[in-house]
Amino acid sequence: MSHIQAMTLPEYSKFDRWAGNVRDMATIYRPVNADEEAEVMRLWTTVFGDDKALFQSNQDSEPNRQLHQTLVAHDGERIVSTVQYFNRHTRMLDGTVQKMGAIANVATFQEARKQGHSGKLLELAIDWMRKDGCTWSQLFTGVNAHYERYGWKTIQTRYREGTLASEAPVVGSWRVVPVNPRSDSKSLAQIAQVYDVYNANRPLTHVRTMLHWEKAVMPRMMWTNGVTYTACEGDCSKVSAYVVCKTNDDKLFIQEIGYIPGGEDAVNALMALVHELAVHRNVQIVRAHLPFEPVVNDALGRLVSGIETGYYRYMMARSLVDSLSQEDVEKPFAMDGPHFWPLDDF
């Protein structure tokens, strides 16, 4: 009698790992094949109903990603479920830059759900992220319980919201202009320089390559009626500060801000244009996804009144290595200063 024949059914249906793949009786869990990219894209657009550009933007921003970063469940006929991760270099509380496994595109076709496909792929992704040297992992979700089973914990994140002040802040001597980051590559590069300075020591921020700016961040600056303003002095050879905002229904969202030393006052000047934009778009409520730090706090206080802090519960994170405790992973999210920028979403 062969070894397989001798197995009882429950033993046989246990997941059998070899060569990085996991197999059960009918379905194989494995890295995507190079010629299956169109098939996984169809799965994502079917399940999420989103524009292909949303998925493509993050794919393109990590050109060196490996096939094993997209894990699929194949039922013998087609791919029925996927989990993907990107390697994002993030700044840590101890000042180091470490690799974070950014979990994305977790999807199972409706008719293949509740068979454990996604769970098995998440377990496989944890193995692969560790092999890739990721020390922790982050994701965004509305189905938190799905991930809790596999070790991710919900992290409460803060935002601030208030009503547009009756009077606009003052521009002063700053030259503040709207820029189109899609057509103005020089301005995008200047903004990237300001980002690097402002976030040089800011935990939770991503180290962005210029390619990441062009492929992932820039489209997000444009989506949902996005508007970017820069502030500069004199001949504008150097940008001192920038702000990115968007409007959605009745709210204006401030997505990102940055300034260099000496540009603190330019943030107030930018807020004057944000105020003007809100008036122009007939929006009264402003929600700021910005770090809690003195310059931003002051500028926000001039733009809106009745500021209140609100909380999201859609972010989750987990440690992947013994040298970084779960507590260490969660700590910076509750601190003033550290910040995850929404333009880095995945």
Ligand X SMILES: CC(C)(COP(=O)(O)OP(=O)(O)OC[C@H]1O[C@@H](n2cnc3c(N)ncnc32)[C@H](O)[C@@H]1OP(=O)(O)O)[C@@H](O)C(=O)NCCC(=O)NCCS
Rounded to a whole number of angstroms, the minimum distance from the CB of residue 341 to ligand X is 19
CB of 111 to ligand X, least distance (A): 10
- CB 336 → ligand X: shortest distance, Å? 28
Judge contact between 231 and 269, C-beta under 8 A.
yes
Judged by beta carbon, residue 106 or residue 218, the one nearer ligand X is 106
Q: CB of 109: closest distance to ligand X in angstroms?
A: 8
| CA dist., res. 341 & res. 70, Å (int) | 24
Rank residues 159 and 314 by Cβ distance to ligand X and give the closer one: 314
Are residues 155 and 213 in contact, defined by beta-carbon separation less than 8 angstroms? no
Q: Report if residue 255 touches ligand X, rule: CB under 6 A.
A: no
Binding residues with ligand X: total (CB under 6 A): 16
Closer residue to ligand X, CB minimum distance, 117 or 212: 117
Shortest Å distance, C-beta 282 to ligand X: 33
Per CB under 6 A, which of residues 126..165 are in contact with ligand X? 141, 143, 145-146
Q: Which residue's CB is nearer to ligand X, number 117 or number 289?
A: 117
- Residue nearer to ligand X on the CB measure, 49 or 294: 49
State the minimum distance, in angstroms, from the CB of residue 345 to ligand X.
Answer: 12
**Which neighbouring-strand residues pair with 287?**
161, 253
Closest CA to 272 of 165, 346, 117: 165
DSSP of 240-268, one letter per residue?
Answer: EEEEEEEEETTEEEEEEEEE-TT-HHHHH
31 or 301: whose CB is closer to ligand X? 31
Return the number of the residue (109 or 159) whose C-beta is nearest ligand X.
109
How many C-beta neighbours within 10 Å does residue 213 have?
20
- Give, as ranges, the residues between 61 and 120 that touch ligand X (CB under 6 A): 81, 106-108, 113-119
Residue 82, CB half-sphere, CA atoms under 13 Å: how many? 28
Largest CA distance in the chain: 87
Closest distance of CB 262 from ligand X, Å: 41
Q: In the 3-class helix/strand/coil scheme, how is 155-214 assigned residue by residue? A: EEEEEEEEEECCCCCCCCCCEEEEECCCCCHHHHHHHHHHHHHHCCCCCCCECCCHHHHH
Residue numbers 21-60 binding ligand X by CB under 6 A: 47
Point out which residues bind ligand X (CB under 6 A): 47, 81, 106-108, 113-119, 141, 143, 145-146
